[in-house]
Amino acid sequence: MKSILKQGTQAAVPFDPNWKTILECAALEVFEMMAGAHLELNLAPTEEPRGEQTAMVGMAGALCGMATLRCSRDTAVKFASLMLGGGAASNPSTARDALGELCNMIAGNFKSKVHNLADHCMLSVPTVITGEDYSMETASPTEGVTVALTFDGEPIWVSLICHT
């Protein structure tokens, strides 16, 4: 609790569009280290983020917002299998839990790479949405960056949405 209270005195860290590169790096490292998966950057994405599984982690403190990780159910199952070993991801809830943990680690890895965020920004526990027909809206103005990736030809999106 003491650490949380300390954050209240920390000035907000302003959004920086260059965070896209940091987010890319944070995401690629997490997939490589935790799933042994080498993802590629999709430099010219032609579509909006899609996929039936969206993991979200809230951020509060010097940076308020959310990190999201979106992909298809099949891709989420693949990641869970890579993280836990073959067959471990046959349970759908395991695949969702794995996607939530990946999103959590991407958010944590990102903030550890941004000056003044590591000690002054807290992460929520992950939430995972199943389904594609939804939209996300926030009460306050936001800015953000989205990183498009591919794994085995399948698209994956990592986004950072910051309240400004």
* Binding site residues, another protein, CB under 8 A: 3, 6, 29-30, 33-34, 80, 83-85, 88, 94, 97-98, 100-101, 104-105, 107-109, 111-113, 118-119, 122-123, 125
Distance from C-alpha of 117 to C-alpha of 63, rounded to nearest angstrom: 7
Measured from the CB of residue 100, what is the shortest distance to another protein in angstroms? 7
SS (H, E, C) 108-161: HHHHHHCCCCCCCEEECCCEEEECCCCCCCCCCCEEEEEEEEEECCEEEEEEEE
Measured from the CB of residue 139, what is the shortest distance to another protein in angstroms? 25
Distance from C-alpha of 26 to C-alpha of 112, rounded to nearest angstrom: 9
Question: By C-beta, is 3 or 138 nearer to another protein?
Answer: 3
Question: By C-beta, is 24 or 97 nearer to another protein?
Answer: 97
Measured from the CB of residue 118, what is the shortest distance to another protein in angstroms? 4
Strand partners, 33: none
Measured from the CB of residue 138, what is the shortest distance to another protein in angstroms? 23
User: What residue has token string 């992950």?
Assistant: 126
